[in-house]
């Protein structure tokens, strides 16, 4: 494979990748929709999409292009994803017709105690934000480098070094800072100021980089070059592993920070022992389509799948919009009740994945939906040991859980000319992760372990245990129709990932929207809570129509971030004429970037 510095002028919908590729930051104007042939990509960022298109244009496949795009997102979206984090990778293999998955979730260190999130000074849990999330104790062993290597070994054609080339170029020559990047930096100021390594990288001269300035990350370029040369052994072993463990155990705190920064327990052995895991996907049939998702340790596949099974019992397309939305919200609440009760890392917990994705179980859960009236939340979980699909439905004791997931992460969708498809969600947990940059290495460490339940309860499938993977909501999804790709989609957004993917599928499959409309439509998330978390536009459009059912809508967003958005989806639809329709957000997170290799044929 020729080096990516080779001159190559590619005409892509959404702007032109200049020749020589990657010498300068590309035009920042983004196009959220692109339709064409030969390969397609959708990400939140034009640099990442351009990297994927570059790889596809050079003859790489979807797995190669996905790794190139993900590595570039590690540069341009460093607060959402990178080698300090983890994620879940889905691959539709056109040759075998099968969907495979890689679980690259971060993992708790072997020495993590059950009371890791309890402040020894008070005996009470650390305050979640900003104290617990800004800590060494929240850092899980990163899975992203292992995921990239595994995906390339299993499905790709490039070496890791080749796939990292576009990202190395972007890290070296820099990218243009946009409003979102500056705002995310400002949102994290207190946390970034807490560490010498982070403030010098992301708050140069004491301020967030200005909009329009060029942000370079030579340290990250060097780290990527190291991985390119030596493979991921240089991450999970050697000096870098020692530095990661040392940083977690003794974060480089500034003298003036008011944050306590609880230290972590990660060792070089934890890093050496990390493995990305091959896994069977979850599968449900929805309106005759085959929907594949991510199995536990993510709750994405089971929860989206169960909700679809519940909705499959009714005909949404014949309902009024408020009736359809009411069913969507109720199905989601029921599936979230089961998520809380049953889903955790299957290496530690007996997760009834088959039952949760069983149509019969979904049918019985659907008995709880009153077509006229919203149930009082939280609703109880179902009984996975006794169900027959017949009303009345059995119930189990409720789970005790609080939703502490944050809203960050990034997602990408890639397809190639051979028909292979990748759906990949990756994260460092919340925007800015733990806030801790490994000194001199240019990347942030995750705070994914905050996805565990804060307080230890032996009955909780998501309790902290050493060596365990915290439950995720990431829901990369690939949908086939008659064995061929129909739609691939995913989103960031903590537990609203699940509702975003579910709502987008419903919008596209049932409510008569095309893919760009399905993504742009205002969102609401019912996660088995008293009120429905809703974007302001959703409240404006549906509040009065949903009130008669008893749904109370409350605005999304929190006091620590400036965004009131739910999710930031990317997707590709495979059109009947053989073209690919790549779609990203038109507005959320400043808009995403869709590109195709050949706009016309
Ligand atoms: N930690 C979340 C999860 O695994 C992802 C974070 C986010 O999307 O904001 O589900």
Read off φ and ψ for residue 49, nearest 5 degrees.
-65, -40
Domains in the chain: how many in total?
1
Helix or strand holding residue 360 (H, E): helix 359-366
- Per residue in 135-163, pLDDT (tens digit) is 999 999 999 999 999 999 999 999 999 99
- Per residue in 183-194, pLDDT (tens digit) is 999 999 999 999
Q: What is the full DSSP assignment across 379-421?
A: PPPB-TTS--S-SSPPB-PPP-------S--EEEEEEETTS-E
Index of the ligand 1 atom closest to the CA of residue 473: 10
* Of 160, 204, 188, 190, residue with least CA distance to 66: 160
CA–centroid distance, residue 150 to ligand 1 (Å): 21
Q: What is the DSSP letter of 437?
A: B
Q: Whose CA is nearest to atom 2 of ligand 1?
A: 494
- If one counts every other C-beta atom within 10 angstroms of the C-beta of residue 124, the result is 9
Question: Are 532 and 525 contacting, i.e. CB atoms less than 8 angstroms apart?
Answer: yes
Q: What is the DSSP letter of 207?
A: S
* Of 54, 79, 75, residue with least CA distance to 66: 54
Name residue 406's beta-bridge partners. none
- Per residue in 61-106, pLDDT (tens digit) is 999 999 999 999 999 999 999 999 999 999 999 999 999 999 999 9
pLDDT at residue 248 is higher than 50: yes
Percent of the chain at pLDDT > 90 equals: 89
Index of the ligand 1 atom closest to the CA of residue 430: 9
Index of the ligand 1 atom closest to the CA of residue 495: 10
- Ligand-binding annotation for 512, yes or no, is no
Structure tokens at 365: 């859960």
- pTM, 2 dp: 0.94
Whether 448 is covered by a domain: the verdict is no
Read off φ and ψ for residue 419, nearest 5 degrees.
100, 5
Residue 287's region, left for phi above 0, alpha for psi from -120 to 50, else beta, is left
Index of the ligand 1 atom closest to the CA of residue 471: 4
Beta pairing, strands 570-574 & 580-584: antiparallel
| Size (the chain), residues | 601
Q: What is the mean pLDDT of residues 521-528?
A: 97
Whether 533 is covered by a domain: the verdict is yes
CA–centroid distance, residue 426 to ligand 1 (Å): 8
pLDDT at residue 23 is higher than 50: no
Q: Residue written as tokens 């705070």?
A: 447
Q: What is the mean pLDDT of residues 121-127?
A: 94
Question: Are 253 and 261 contacting, i.e. CB atoms less than 8 angstroms apart?
Answer: yes
The reported pLDDT for the residue numbered 402 is 59
Q: What is the mean pLDDT of residues 243-252?
A: 98
Domain CATH code at residue 378: 1.10.246.130
CA–centroid distance, residue 432 to ligand 1 (Å): 12
Residue 126 burial class via C-beta count within 10 angstroms: exposed 0-12, middle 13-18, buried 19 and up: buried
Q: What is the full DSSP assignment across 256-310?
A: T-----------HHHHHH---EEEPPEEEEETTEEEEEPPTTBSHHHHHHHHHHH
Index of the ligand 1 atom closest to the CA of residue 451: 1
Whether 568 is covered by a domain: the verdict is yes
> Which positions ≥6 away from 466 have C-beta within 8 Å?
108, 109, 110, 111, 112, 113
CA–centroid distance, residue 494 to ligand 1 (Å): 4
Q: Which residues line ligand 1 (CB under 6 A)?
A: 405-409, 427, 429, 448, 451, 472-474, 492-494, 497
Q: Whose CA is nearest to atom 1 of ligand 1?
A: 429
Index of the ligand 1 atom closest to the CA of residue 431: 9
Question: Are 21 and 4 contacting, i.e. CB atoms less than 8 angstroms apart?
Answer: yes
The reported pLDDT for the residue numbered 406 is 52
Rounded Cα–Cα distance for residues 133 and 455 (Å): 15
Counting ligand 1 atoms within 8 A of each CB, the residue from 143, 470, 474 with the most, and so the one to mutate, is 474
Q: What is the mean pLDDT of residues 300-323?
A: 98
Q: Residue written as tokens 């919200």?
A: 329
Rounded Cα–Cα distance for residues 118 and 473 (Å): 24
Rounded Cα–Cα distance for residues 362 and 376 (Å): 19
Q: Look over the chain and give the mean of its residue pLDDT values, rounded to a whole number.
A: 93
- Ligand-binding annotation for 135, yes or no, is no
**Cα–Cα distances in Å, from 318 out to 73, 315, 323, 522, 546?**
41, 6, 10, 21, 18
Please report how many Cα atoms fall inside a 13 Å half-sphere around the Cα of residue 94, on the Cβ side.
14
- Ligand-binding annotation for 105, yes or no, is yes
Percent of the chain at pLDDT > 70 equals: 93
The reported pLDDT for the residue numbered 20 is 34
pLDDT at residue 17 is higher than 60: no
Structure tokens at 509: 């499959």
- Per residue in 412-457, pLDDT (tens digit) is 999 999 999 999 999 999 999 999 999 999 999 999 999 999 999 9
Rounded Cα–Cα distance for residues 481 and 469 (Å): 32
Q: Tell me the catalytic residues.
A: 409
Structure tokens at 541: 């459009």
> Which positions ≥6 away from 518 have C-beta within 8 Å?
504, 507, 508, 511
Whether 468 is covered by a domain: the verdict is no
CA angle in degrees (0–180, nearest 5) for 95-101-104: 140
> Which positions ≥6 away from 233 have C-beta within 8 Å?
none
Rounded Cα–Cα distance for residues 525 and 523 (Å): 7
The reported pLDDT for the residue numbered 11 is 32
CA–centroid distance, residue 551 to ligand 1 (Å): 26
Q: What is the mean pLDDT of residues 301-310?
A: 98
- Per residue in 259-301, pLDDT (tens digit) is 999 999 999 999 999 999 999 999 999 999 999 999 999 999 9
Domain of residue 505: give its range.
Answer: 278-405+473-484+492-587
Whether 69 is covered by a domain: the verdict is no
pLDDT at residue 26 is higher than 90: no
Structure tokens at 204: 């140069």
Q: Whose CA is nearest to atom 4 of ligand 1?
A: 472
Rounded Cα–Cα distance for residues 61 and 91 (Å): 11
> Which positions ≥6 away from 205 have C-beta within 8 Å?
none
- Per residue in 535-587, pLDDT (tens digit) is 999 999 999 999 999 999 999 876 445 468 899 999 999 999 999 999 999 99
Structure tokens at 330: 């109720």
pLDDT at residue 379 is higher than 60: yes
Q: Whose CA is nearest to atom 3 of ligand 1?
A: 472
Peptide bond into 20 cis (omega under 30): yes
Counting ligand 1 atoms within 8 A of each CB, the residue from 426, 473, 477, 569 with the most, and so the one to mutate, is 473
Counting ligand 1 atoms within 8 A of each CB, the residue from 295, 344, 426, 429 with the most, and so the one to mutate, is 429
Please report how many Cα atoms fall inside a 13 Å half-sphere around the Cα of residue 203, on the Cβ side.
23
- Ligand-binding annotation for 345, yes or no, is no
- Ligand-binding annotation for 187, yes or no, is no
CA–centroid distance, residue 104 to ligand 1 (Å): 13
CA–centroid distance, residue 451 to ligand 1 (Å): 8
């Amino acid at each position: 494979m020729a080096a990516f510095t080779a001159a190559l002028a590619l005409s892509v919908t959404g702007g032109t990748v200049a020749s020589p590729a990657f010498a300068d930051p590309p035009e920042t104007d983004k196009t959220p929709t692109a339709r064409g042939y030969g390969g397609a990509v959708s990400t939140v960022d034009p640099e990442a999409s351009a990297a994927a298109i570059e790889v596809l244009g050079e003859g790489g496949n979807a797995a190669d292009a996905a790794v190139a795009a993900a590595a570039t997102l590690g540069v341009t979206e460093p607060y959402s994803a990178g080698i300090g984090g983890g994620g879940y990778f889905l691959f539709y293999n056109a040759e075998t017709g099968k969907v495979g998955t890689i679980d690259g979730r971060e993992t708790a260190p072997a020495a993590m105690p059950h009371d890791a999130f309890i402040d020894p000074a008070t005996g009470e849990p650390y305050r979640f934000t900003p104290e617990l999330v800004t800590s060494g104790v929240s850092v899980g062993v990163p899975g992203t480098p292992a995921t990239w290597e595994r995906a390339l070994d299993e499905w790709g054609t490039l070496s890791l070094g080749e796939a990292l080339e576009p990202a190395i170029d972007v890290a070296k020559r820099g990218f243009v800072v946009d409003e979102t990047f500056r705002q995310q930096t400002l949102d994290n100021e207190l946390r970034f100021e807490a560490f010498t390594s982070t403030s010098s990288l992301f708050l140069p001269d004491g301020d967030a980089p200005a909009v329009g300035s060029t942000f370079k990350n030579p340290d990250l370029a060097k780290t990527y070059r190291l991985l390119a040369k030596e493979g991921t052994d240089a991450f999970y072993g050697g000096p870098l592993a020692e530095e990661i463990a040392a940083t977690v155990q003794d974060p480089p705190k500034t003298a003036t920070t008011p944050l306590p920064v609880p230290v972590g327990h990660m060792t070089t052995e934890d890093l050496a022992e990390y493995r990305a895991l091959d896994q069977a996907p979850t599968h449900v049939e929805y309106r005759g389509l085959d929907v594949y998702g991510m199995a536990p340790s993510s709750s994405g596949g089971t929860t989206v799948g169960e909700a679809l099974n519940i909705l499959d019992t009714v005909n949404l397309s014949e309902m009024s919009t408020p009736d359809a939305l009411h069913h969507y919200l109720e199905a989601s609440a029921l599936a979230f009740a089961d998520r809380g009760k049953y889903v955790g890392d299957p290496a530690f917990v007996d997760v009834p994945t088959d039952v949760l994705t069983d149509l019969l179980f979904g049918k019985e859960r659907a008995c709880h939906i009153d077509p006229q009236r919203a149930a009082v939340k939280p609703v109880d979980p179902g009984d996975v040991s006794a169900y027959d699909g017949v009303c009345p439905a059995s119930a189990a004791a409720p789970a005790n859980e609080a939703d502490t997931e944050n809203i960050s992460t990034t997602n990408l969708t890639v397809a190639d000319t051979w028909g292979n498809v990748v759906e990949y969600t990756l994260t460092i947990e919340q925007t800015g992760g733990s806030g801790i940059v490994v000194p001199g290495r240019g990347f942030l460490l995750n705070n994914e372990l905050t996805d565990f339940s804060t307080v230890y309860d032996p009955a909780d499938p998501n309790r902290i245990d050493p060596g365990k993977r915290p439950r995720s909501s990431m829901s990369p999804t690939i949908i086939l129709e008659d064995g061929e790709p129909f739609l691939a989609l995913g989103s960031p957004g903590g537990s609203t990932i699940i509702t975003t993917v579910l709502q987008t599928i419903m919008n596209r499959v049932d409510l008569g929207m095309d893919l760009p409309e399905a993504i742009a439509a205002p969102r609401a998330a019912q996660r088995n809570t008293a009120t429905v978390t809703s974007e302001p536009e959703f409240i404006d459009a549906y509040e009065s129509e949903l009130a008669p059912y008893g749904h109370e809508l409350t605005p999304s967003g929190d006091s620590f971030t400036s965004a009131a958005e739910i999710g930031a989806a990317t997707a590709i639809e495979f059109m009947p004429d053989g073209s690919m329709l790549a779609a990203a957000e038109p507005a959320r997170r400043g808009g995403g970037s869709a590109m195709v290799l050949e706009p016309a044929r």
